[in-house]
Amino acid sequence: MAEKKKQKIYVFDTTLRDGAQSADISFSVRDKLRIVERFDDIGIDYIEVGFPASNPKDEELFSELKKRKYRNSKIVAFGRTKYKDTSAGNDANLRVLLDSGADTMCIFGKSSTLHVEKVLETTLENNLEMIFDSVQYLKANSPEVIYDAEHFFDGYKLDRDYAVKTLKAAEDAKADFIVLCDTNGGCLPGEILEILKDIVMQVDIPLGLHCHNDTGCAVANTVIAIEHFSQVNMVQGTINGYGERCGNADLCQIIPSLEIKLNRMCLPDGNLRHLTNLSRYISETANQVPFGAQPFVGKNAFAHKAGMHVHGVTKAPEAFEHIKPELVGNTREILVSELSGKKSIIVKAKEFGVDLEKDSDSVNRILNMVQNLEHKGYQFEAADGSFELIVKDVAGVKKKFFTLESFRVLNEKRTDAIMVSEATVKILVDDNRIIETAEGDGPVHALDSALRKALTNFYPDLEKIKLSDFKVRVLDEKQGTGAVVRVLIESTDGTRSWGTIGVSKNIIEASWQALEDSIVYGLMHLETA
């Protein structure tokens, strides 16, 4: 019996337009071009890159895009319907769209009587003419036109008959898709279903959905529309849900939900496994901290911390995971904390190449150490490097690269208003006693520089190790300047990244602990690479 062909769902990404409207995101032209390449590689069907007449940056972007061809993706230019007192052929906005060189035109129009009368300040009939004329004009001069029915669901609830008339105007003008927009993001799944039941009876062309996330329902609203109505075969959204206010529907949740749960086809075969990598690339390019608990692609999406969960997941992963993490390019993480059981320690140690299966004494020692340290303020979920050093120290396989004799840090405020820190470290490497001093922009920078000066002659590979992030957290604010602080350092050698931790009432001491672990971990792995 032949396998039933999967329904194709067209993925329309608006990260570079709607996502860039997020309060703290701005993409350069180079950023956008690189992102377009990544979207094309993974197989996004439509890439809405912006409004070509809105700013010099987008003008430059479209100029560059004219020179390029993409294998899987269509470039989309975004704009509005014609101006209320202008013919479509004389509307500058529509002409700019056509001149952009984009493969597809996407324009939005008003579906709500409130917006027509209060925002556009025109008549309801004139708005219908604006929609029809604009779509018809673009369709006559370009191969594909998508009509976004802005504020559609709110407009439908306000005046059902008029909202439907706006869709019929776009349909009569031969739009290729009509996309229903929950622009204010206020709809719940039940409302979406009830309204769509009516709309699929009124409109014959393919439909799409564009949902904002102001009730936290953007993904649910999108998925439920695809699940129940075959006529809805386009999803609009952004990678990681970036967008205005509370964001847009997150394609990193929608795509795997549709492909894995509903057996629809969104990306070319095999490309779903690149989704996690894409999500993190977009986060990095947008200069946003990845959301660890993001479904499917987040760092913690398949992380297990409680001892009972770890014990179970090692026997039957499906007992505690809704999908295999590899399907979306993610990985399973076993976290270690005071909640961990002995099985967590054994499983995590195996990742480090240490077999503790039959060494219950070492397992108990490690577990007790972790519990005692976390009581003092340590957290090893984000400090895998420090935890690995604990395991290898207890197991007797940790190498001692150097021994600290002492360090000193001085801070100097100069008359030129520049603040300078100076650090001196005294260490032992085998039988060699080294004293080095270095200046830095701050005490940790100075300590790092002095330690590197002391060690580089013995360990040249140290030059490969760079600090990529530094975080300080006050643990008991009520203690004021005498509070305990936790320092987390993220480091990389260009190939791998690791976290290390330090905790103390003295921020310099806490920083040293994390810094020392970072250097030791990095040298240990570079030596065995």
Nearest to 524 by CA among 354, 396, 397: 397
Residue 290 has pLDDT above 70, yes or no: yes
State the pLDDT at residue 391.
93
Residue 358 domain flag: yes
188 Cβ contact list (under 8 Å, min separation 6): 215, 217, 221
Instruction: Examine the fold and report which residue of 210, 242, 268 is the final residue of a domain before the chain moves on.
Output: 268
Instruction: Examine the fold and report which residue of 355, 374, 393 is the final residue of a domain before the chain moves on.
Output: 374
Is the Cα dihedral 342, 382, 411, 461 positive or negative? Answer: positive
Q: How confident is the model at residue 205 (pLDDT cuts 50, 70, 90)?
A: very high
Residues 113 and 247 in one domain: yes
Residue 367 domain flag: yes
Q: Are 447 and 440 in contact (CB under 8 A)?
A: yes
How many Å apart are CA 303 and CA 453, to the nearest integer? 38
CATH of the domain at 509: 3.30.160.270
- Tens of pLDDT along 124-142? 999 999 999 999 999 999 9
Rounded mean pLDDT, 472-482:
74
Q: How many domains does the chain have?
A: 3
Cα-based distances in Å from 334 to 277, 312, 353, 394: 20, 12, 15, 19
Residue 343 has pLDDT above 90, yes or no: no
109 Cβ contact list (under 8 Å, min separation 6): 80, 81, 127, 130, 131, 134, 147, 148, 149, 150, 166, 170
Amino acid at 98: L
Structural domain for 362, as ranges: 303-374
Q: How confident is the model at residue 2 (pLDDT cuts 50, 70, 90)?
A: low
Residues 178 and 327 in one domain: no
CATH of the domain at 175: 3.20.20.70
Instruction: Map tokens 């105007």 to a residue.
Output: 169
Q: Are 164 and 200 in contact (CB under 8 A)?
A: no
Mean pLDDT, the chain, rounded, equals: 91
Rounded mean pLDDT, 506-517:
95
State the pLDDT at residue 237.
98
Q: Which residue has the higher pLDDT, 334 or 68?
A: 68
pTM (two decimals): 0.72
Q: How confident is the model at residue 500 (pLDDT cuts 50, 70, 90)?
A: very high
Rounded mean pLDDT, 302-314:
68
271 Cβ contact list (under 8 Å, min separation 6): 42, 43
Q: How confident is the model at residue 478 (pLDDT cuts 50, 70, 90)?
A: low
99 Cβ contact list (under 8 Å, min separation 6): 52
State the pLDDT at residue 311.
63
Lowest-confidence pick of 24-38, 206-220, 248-262: 24-38
Residue 337 has pLDDT above 70, yes or no: no
- Tens of pLDDT along 417-466? 688 899 999 999 999 999 999 999 889 999 999 999 999 999 999 999 99
- Tens of pLDDT along 153-184? 999 999 999 999 999 999 999 999 999 999 99
Residue 234 φ then ψ, to 5°: -135, 135
State the pLDDT at residue 529.
66
State the pLDDT at residue 78.
97
Q: Are 279 and 253 in contact (CB under 8 A)?
A: no
Q: Are 302 and 331 in contact (CB under 8 A)?
A: yes
464-480 residues labelled b (16+ CB within 10 A) or e (exposed): ebebeebeeeeeeeeee
Residues 260 and 221 in one domain: yes
Cα-based distances in Å from 49 to 74, 100, 103, 104, 388: 10, 11, 11, 11, 44
Q: Give whichever of 50-64, 194-208, 285-299 has the largest mean pLDDT.
A: 194-208
Rounded mean pLDDT, 402-423:
89
Residues 161 and 112 in one domain: yes
Residues 249 and 156 in one domain: yes
Lowest-confidence pick of 177-191, 258-272, 346-360, 372-386: 372-386
Residue 175 domain flag: yes
Question: 503: number of CA atoms within 13 Å, CB side?
Answer: 15
Q: Which residues pair with 488 in a beta bridge?
A: 471, 501
Percent above pLDDT 70 for the chain: 95
Residues 314 and 182 in one domain: no
Rounded mean pLDDT, 403-420:
88
Residues 499 and 437 in one domain: yes
- Tens of pLDDT along 225-242? 999 999 999 999 999 999
Residue 1 has pLDDT above 60, yes or no: no
Residue 486 domain flag: yes
412 Cβ contact list (under 8 Å, min separation 6): 419, 420, 421, 422
How many Å apart are CA 356 and CA 354, to the nearest integer? 6
Residue 200 domain flag: yes
Q: Which residue has the higher pLDDT, 308 or 75?
A: 75
Instruction: Examine the fold and report which residue of 357, 374, 391 is the final residue of a domain before the chain moves on.
Output: 374
Residues 318 and 220 in one domain: no
Q: How confident is the model at residue 476 (pLDDT cuts 50, 70, 90)?
A: confident
- Tens of pLDDT along 383-393? 889 999 999 99
Rounded mean pLDDT, 38-51:
96
Residue 292 has pLDDT above 60, yes or no: yes
Q: How confident is the model at residue 283 (pLDDT cuts 50, 70, 90)?
A: confident
Residue 141 φ then ψ, to 5°: -125, 5
Residue 392 domain flag: no
Rounded CA Rg of the chain: 29
State the pLDDT at residue 259.
98
Q: How confident is the model at residue 306 (pLDDT cuts 50, 70, 90)?
A: low
Residue 184 domain flag: yes
Residues 61 and 151 in one domain: yes
Residues 184 and 323 in one domain: no
Residues 31 and 140 in one domain: yes
Q: Which residue has the higher pLDDT, 5 or 223?
A: 223
374 Cβ contact list (under 8 Å, min separation 6): 337, 338, 380
Residue 481 has pLDDT above 80, yes or no: no
State the pLDDT at residue 308.
64
Residues 340 and 435 in one domain: no
State the pLDDT at residue 349.
87
State the pLDDT at residue 324.
93
DSSP-derived letter for residue 113 is H
How many Å apart are CA 326 and CA 440, to the nearest integer? 43
Residue 109 domain flag: yes
DSSP-derived letter for residue 495 is S
How many Å apart are CA 402 and CA 391, to the nearest integer? 19
CA angle 211/216/220 to nearest 5° reads 60
State the pLDDT at residue 309.
63
